[in-house]
Amino acid sequence: SPVFVVLVCLAFCSRLSSMKAASICTNGQTGCHFISLANLFDRVIQHSARMHGISNDLHSEFELYFLPSKNQIGRVSHNCHTSTILTPNGKENAQRIAREELTEVILKLLVAWRDPLWHFHQDMAQHHEFNNFSSNKSLEMSDMVHELRKGVQKVVEKMQMLGIISPSIGNLGTPEALLASDSAEWRLMNDYDLLYCFRRDSNKIQHYLKILKCRIVPEHGC
């Protein structure tokens, strides 16, 4: 057993050493924590999956107050404010378009949902007919959209740094982009439609990120 302990130590120490060696960051930043691109992708993908899960839960809860539809469509046709954003509707389409386009779509979607979700949470907190569980989920959803957008932007920066994609995108976080997204379309949606639309869009984001990762760094778990 001391031999076993020594072996474990060696394995662990080698891991540590590798991590230490990899902690040399680019751009001369001191004290930065090195994360590989694949690792970054995994993180944002997990984040988007969780976001979609929460939106799914909230939508299901909302359906209890309305008539539960068979395929979760609902009787009212939905007009999502993100319908104007052209998104690939299938696997082949998502694989065919350029990486930059795909990345841009993701960012657009994330930006578009920041304000509506925030207001939705405010409405939920005021209306006490929804329990605290839903209220907490709406807050979490709103935060996650914000976090995910920042995460995806970091991924984009890294990709641009690595030269994977061209630096033409990335200006969506600028105030101009924010102003453009501040349209009043989303205010026309009711809560149920909003949840339905966000549920759909979060699913899109999740799939797109996965496709993007396997297109850029396919060797890690694709």
Partner 1 sequence: TLEPHFTDCISRDLETFRCWWSPGSLHNLSTLGALKVFYLKKDSPSSEWKECPEYIHENRECFFDSNHTSVWITYCVQLRGQNITYFNEDDCFTVENIVRPDPPVSLNWTVLKISPSGLSYDVLVNWEPPPSADVGVGWMRIEYEIQYRERNATNWKALEKQPHTKQTIYGLQIGKEYEVHIRSRMQAFVKFGEFSDSIFIEVTEIPNKHGLVPFTLVVIFGIVGVLIVILLIVISWQQRLMMILLPPVPVPKIKGIDSEMLKKGKLGELNFLLNGGVLDGLQPYAKELYHEESWVEFIEMDKENEEGGDKVDNCNSDTQKLLGLPHRNIDGLRAISHPDDDSGQANCYDTDLPEHDTQMLIASMLPGQPENHQASLDAPASETGERPLIQTQIEGPQTWVNTDLYAQVSNVMPSGGVVLSPGQQPKIQENTTGSEREAQKGGKKSEDCEDNEGIEDWKKSEPQFQLLVVVPEGSGSTTKNNAQQTSTPPNSPVPGPGYQTIQPQPMETKPAAMTDGSQPTYILPESPQSQLFTPVADYTVVQELDMHHSLLLNPPPSHSPSMCQPQHPLKAPMPVGYITPDLLGNLVP
SS3 71: coil
The residue among 33 and 70 lying less far from partner 1, judged by its C-beta, is 70
Window contacting partner 1 (CB under 8 A); options: 85-93, 104-112, 126-134, 177-185? 85-93
CA distance 151 to 159: 12
**Residue 181 binding partner 1, by CB under 8 A:** no
Contact flag: residue 92 with partner 1 (CB under 8 A): yes
**CB of 72 vs partner 1, minimal distance in Å:** 5
CA dihedral (27, 106, 181, 196) positive or negative: negative
Size of site (CB under 8 A) for partner 1: 29
* Binding piece for partner 1, criterion CB under 8 A, among 23-31, 84-92, 120-128, 163-171: 84-92
Question: Please, what is the Cα angle at 197 between 199 and 117, to 5 degrees?
Answer: 80
**Is position 37 an interface residue for partner 1 (rule: CB under 8 A)?**
no
Nearest residue to 120 (alpha-carbon basis) of 195, 67, 179, 50: 195
Buried b (16+ CB within 10 A) or exposed e, 44-80: bbebbebbbebbbbbbeebbeeeeeeeeeebeeebeb
Q: What is the smallest separation between the CB atom of 128 and partner 1, expressed in angstroms?
A: 28
**Nearby residues of 165 by Cβ (< 8 Å), 6 or more positions away:** 99, 100, 103, 156, 159
Asked if 200 is part of the footprint of partner 1 (rule: CB under 8 A), the reply reads yes
Which phi and psi (to 5°) does residue 87 adopt?
-125, 145
What's the one-letter identity of residue 88? P
- Out of 56, 134, 135, 160, the residue judged to bind partner 1 by CB under 8 A: 56
- State which of residues 6, 34, 49, 186 lies at the interface with partner 1 (CB under 8 A): 49
Q: What is the closest distance, in whole angstroms, from the C-beta atom of residue 29 to partner 1 in the complex?
A: 31
Report the residue number, 44 or 170, with the smaller CB distance to partner 1.
Answer: 44
User: CA 13 to CA 111: how far, in whole Å?
Assistant: 42
Q: Quick check: 206 binds partner 1 (CB under 8 A)?
A: yes
Contacts with partner 1 by CB under 8 A lie at 49, 52-53, 56, 69-73, 75, 77-78, 87, 89-92, 94-95, 200, 203-204, 206-207, 210-211, 213-214, 222
